[in-house]
Structure 1
Amino acid sequence: MTVAVTMFSGGRGAAGIARGMLGTPGAGLSLVVNGYDNGLSTGALRRYLPGMLGPSDFRKNLLLHLDSADPAQAALAAVVEHRLPAGTTPAGLTAVIEAIALRRGRFAALPEAAREALTADLRVFARRLAAHPHGLDLADCALGNLVFAGAYLRLGRDFNAAIDACVRTFGSPVRLLNVTNGENAFLTALRKDGGLLADEADIVAPQDPGTITDLFLLREPVGARRRAELEALPPEWTRRILGRERAEVTPNPRALEAIREADLVVYGPGTPHSSLLPSYLTPGVADAVARSRAAAKVFVVNTREDHDSRGLTAPDLVDRTLAHLGDPRNERRLVTHVLSHRTPGPDAPAVPEEILDRGEWAGARWVTADLTHPDRPGVHHAERTAGALLAIRDEAVRDEAALARVR
């Protein structure tokens, strides 16, 4: 019997869990991701192609199934992760594309179907760059992002169709889904001290401790001048102004279906304010979780603190998830369980002893297990964490069956 697992994810934070699920017989995995990434080269690409969301987190999830010991899969991973060096010109990009087309060097073992698809989409992007050579510095661009961009252009600027095309090209067994229908939006955050984090790159960057109080998805990016104007205002004024400039986004029906039809819903680990919480703001997501047939809806606590969550405890992060889902008291049972590492390290979000003793928070059962990788501090162990999640799901199913018999 197949267990349908749907996990809210970012780029790399939940990669271990995803790999653990892919390695579990009978587990089918859907990942729900947002496209608000606006880092250095990704931000440059989004500015070059106005209207396109950020492909980076989707690109990173194309690596989950690839085995470096397999020459063909290693060649696919080389395309995903290859970074163009500083000084790369359009002609230099064309040379890389020809190396793929002729299967040279690191790309020698590319499967034929993937080689054809990759070459076609990269050439679409290269033609766009030749026609509009200004406005994009190719330095440090991930080649995988340019594959996405080429597919996006080829498919009539349909971001979600581009995701599907790339999933097919790289042979991913993951059902990779954008949480929205692809409307362009820009993530901005407001801190308690009134500081403005103008975009996703600011949110994930190292910063002084200071609680993020608000997230906004805006129609337009906040430029330097606009940022200075907003930061000169009282925080309440800034909050109201940004609230009036929110982008209208709509949910991806396939993502809602994956949530509703899941046997297990997982709120994966990662950078909360950039990768995870924005997804929960999407209209319809909370309702889909509430209506899901999943017996267990599990929040997985990070095994280390991120820049955007400094000073927040594990219960704080659960509360933030519930608040962004519009259910701060968990009255709709949007989170049924919380899973954390048995002995959190000094860099992990704190778990108060009284919560561990009580085994409950916000109406959700708190479960601990040995989750970290022994050789990679701060990383979830793939098999152990996937196994713990599936065990929670199995126990929840048994509990529901026992309750039904009593009734």
Structure 2
Amino acid sequence: MEKREPTDGPNPRIVVIGGGTGLAVMLRGLKRLPVSITAIVTVADDGGSSGRLRTDMGMPPPGDIRNVLVALADTEPMLEKVLQYRFRNGNGLAGHNLGNLFLAAMQDITGDFTHAIQEASRVLAVRGRVLPSTDQEVTLGAEMTDGTCVQGESRIPLAGKQIRRVFLEPEDVRPIPEALVAIQEADVVVIGPGSLYTSILPNLLVQGLAEAIRESQAKTVYICNVMTQPGETDGYTAFDHLEAIHRHIGDRLIDTIILNNETPPAAILRQYAEEGAAMVQPDIERLQAVGCRVWAENLLQYHGVIRHNANRLSKLILELTR
């Protein structure tokens, strides 16, 4: 289907898909701009506080949802610190995140996880909508290149092996209807940034979600990570990230790729190398050869760790809506 030109109106409709810290960082910049945001967030996490609540309360893991809610919230800095607070002591409390417990309480009160997110959004004055990619219980698995399989999102990067593919169990998990409607009505769909195999693909593998993006008239943008992730994308270039997406859900999904082309200082690269990470190389010609439009910019921001510069990235996304 031919992609429509995005609206020239004051509030272009942007759907962002992913999870993890990278998505939350970008949303902090995007919420300051005159756009209408819907965030579709992974619920495949099974580690830490989220994993415990998933097991104890039979609820989807709230951690990625919490991060996105806090990023989009119009709250005082102290309230944000409270929602992100992790208990260090207490029998049963140690390790739990207060924001996760807040969402667990909301689900208990409302009786439904999606409704709980909506009510939490109202309480926190969230600028936009936050939706889980599915409201069904789902487990992420990975098949490695040596033929072994690893079950559980938190265990996959720790396996120390090269990933051939990831998959969901059950495979026929369906997206919530609101997510499909948001994609259908979007001017731009933004995928990432975030962990390729454990934050981005778990959303795209939800049956019907990638198809909805492909059938939508929205322009589709993939934001490539700045650094490789040990245990997931070791040695990956920008093209390798795109190829992994194609391998899982087919091509003709992504129109534009935004990537960083600025090399971090040598001292920072050495610091990351000690942890097994390196800069994702922007192999632009290979991306263009498969029909992708490439926007390569200096998107670096460093405050102890390398992140995308949220303001620069958000302005690039807004430019795509004009």
Q: TM-score range by the shorter chain?
A: 0.7 to 0.9
Alignment of 1:204-243 (within 5 A): 204-205=157-158, 207-208=159-160, 210-218=161-169
Question: Secondary structure of 1:64's partner?
Answer: helix
1:29–1:175 CA contact under 8 A, matched in 2? yes
For 1:359 and 1:317, the matched residues in 2 are separated by 10
The one of 190, 193, 196 equivalent to 2:143 is 190
Alignment of 1:90-109 (within 5 A): none
1:183–1:250 CA contact under 8 A, matched in 2? yes
Matched, 1:63 2:70: yes
Look up the match of 1:297.
220
| Partner AA of 1:348 in structure 2 | M
Deviation at 1:58, TM superposition (A): 0.4
Matched, 1:348 2:279: yes
Deviation at 1:301, TM superposition (A): 0.8
Structure 2 CA distance for partners of 1:374 and 1:359, relative to 1, 3 Å: same
Higher helix content, 1 or 2: 1
For 2:236 and 2:302, the matched residues in 1 are separated by 25
Question: Secondary structure of 1:270's partner?
Answer: coil
2:20–2:195 CA contact under 8 A, matched in 1? no
| Partner AA of 2:238 in structure 1 | A
The one of 33, 40, 57 equivalent to 1:32 is 40
Deviations 1:275-320 (A, max 9, x none): 11011011111221122232x2111110111122112221111112
Matched, 1:172 2:126: yes
For 2:126 and 2:177, the matched residues in 1 are separated by 21
1:34–1:279 CA contact under 8 A, matched in 2? yes
The one of 255, 266, 281 equivalent to 1:336 is 255
Q: Which runs of 5+ in 1 are unaligned?
A: 90-136, 219-245, 395-407
For 1:254 and 1:139, the matched residues in 2 are separated by 35
Alignment of 1:2-401 (within 5 A): 2-24=11-33, 26-50=34-58, 52-66=59-73, 73-86=76-89, 88-89=90-91, 137-156=92-111, 158-180=112-134, 182-205=135-158, 207-208=159-160, 210-218=161-169, 246-294=170-218, 296-307=219-230, 308-324=232-248, 326-327=249-250, 330=251, 333-345=252-264, 347-352=278-283, 355-356=284-285, 360-373=288-301, 375=303, 378-394=306-322
Deviations 1:150-174 (A, max 9, x none): 1112222x22111112111211112
Question: Secondary structure of 1:249's partner?
Answer: coil
| Partner AA of 1:41 in structure 2 | S
1:344–1:350 CA contact under 8 A, matched in 2? no
Question: Secondary structure of 1:75's partner?
Answer: helix
Question: Secondary structure of 2:307's partner?
Answer: strand
1:41–1:139 CA contact under 8 A, matched in 2? no
Look up the match of 1:232.
none
| Partner AA of 2:227 in structure 1 | R
Look up the match of 1:107.
none
Deviation at 1:360, TM superposition (A): 0.4
For 2:297 and 2:253, the matched residues in 1 are separated by 22
Structure 2 CA distance for partners of 1:274 and 1:322, relative to 1, 3 Å: same
Deviation at 1:339, TM superposition (A): 1.1
Identity of matched residues, %: 30
Root-mean-square deviation (CA), in Å?
Answer: 2.0
Question: Secondary structure of 1:2's partner?
Answer: coil
Question: Secondary structure of 1:76's partner?
Answer: helix
Deviation at 1:198, TM superposition (A): 2.2
2:258–2:296 CA contact under 8 A, matched in 1? yes
Higher relative contact order (CA 8 A, sep 6+): 2
| Partner AA of 2:228 in structure 1 | E
1:76–1:170 CA contact under 8 A, matched in 2? no
Deviation at 1:32, TM superposition (A): 0.8
1:8–1:276 CA contact under 8 A, matched in 2? yes
Deviation at 1:39, TM superposition (A): 0.9
For 1:75 and 1:49, the matched residues in 2 are separated by 28
For 1:31 and 1:65, the matched residues in 2 are separated by 10
| Partner AA of 1:31 in structure 2 | A
For 1:351 and 1:368, the matched residues in 2 are separated by 8
Deviation at 1:363, TM superposition (A): 1.8
Look up the match of 2:4.
none
| Partner AA of 1:389 in structure 2 | I
Deviations 1:221-247 (A, max 9, x none): xxxxxxxxxxxxxxxxxxxxxxxxx35
Structure 2 CA distance for partners of 1:278 and 1:66, relative to 1, 3 Å: closer
Deviation at 1:78, TM superposition (A): 2.9
Q: Which runs of 5+ in 2 are unaligned?
A: 1-9, 270-277
Question: Secondary structure of 1:38's partner?
Answer: coil
